[in-house]
A = this chain, B = another copy of it.
Amino acid sequence: MGAKKGKLVMVASRGTADGLYPALILATTAAAQGMEVHVYFTFGGMKLLNRKTVDKISPSVDLGLSERELGALLSRGGMPSLKDLLRQAKEGGVKIHACSPTMNLFGTTQDELLEVVDDVIGASGFLDLASDPDAVTLFI
């Protein structure tokens, strides 16, 4: 791919499919285009990085769909699962950051985190990633 073309720093804060899909789709697409990509999972978004909760992600308050209905839509639309997208992002070079204050809040241990996690950082670590004049930053 040659030199990295730009940088994308996202916060994935929502623990529902309609919040996590956009973050993961943007992450995998940006990585495929050669961008440096970071996703900082925090609050509800941390559900995706936790073995105990990764398979219990609700579809969405917003869309007003049940889990079964969203599942049907997703398979009809040929959309991969959130877990598959996360793995795909990781393989594409996306950096996966877990949020330490959220872990403290919910008493999450390091053992519960999926192996895709690159590191556990706080607000300060996130700001270091985002404070780059060339970075596109999105809070999702």
A: which residues have CB within 8 A of B? 5-6, 8, 10-11, 13-16, 18-19, 21-22, 25-26, 29-30, 33, 35, 42-44, 58, 60-64, 73-74, 76-79, 101, 104-107, 122-124, 126-127, 130-131, 133-140
Residues of chain B lying within 8 A (CB to CB) of residue A133 = 133-134
Copies of this protein in the assembly total 3
- A35 to B127, Cβ gap below 8 A? yes
Which secondary structure dominates where chain A touches chain B? Answer: mixed
- B131 to A29, Cβ gap below 8 A? no
Partner of A124, one of B16, B33, B134, B137: B33
Given A104-B77, A106-B73, A136 contacting B130 (CB threshold 8 A): yes
- A138 to B136, Cβ gap below 8 A? no
A8 to chain B, nearest CB (A): 7
- B11 to A101, Cβ gap below 8 A? no
- A105 to B79, Cβ gap below 8 A? yes
Residues of chain B lying within 8 A (CB to CB) of residue A5 = 131
Question: Could you tell me the distance between the alpha carbons of A72 and B138 in the complex, rounded to whole angstroms?
Answer: 30
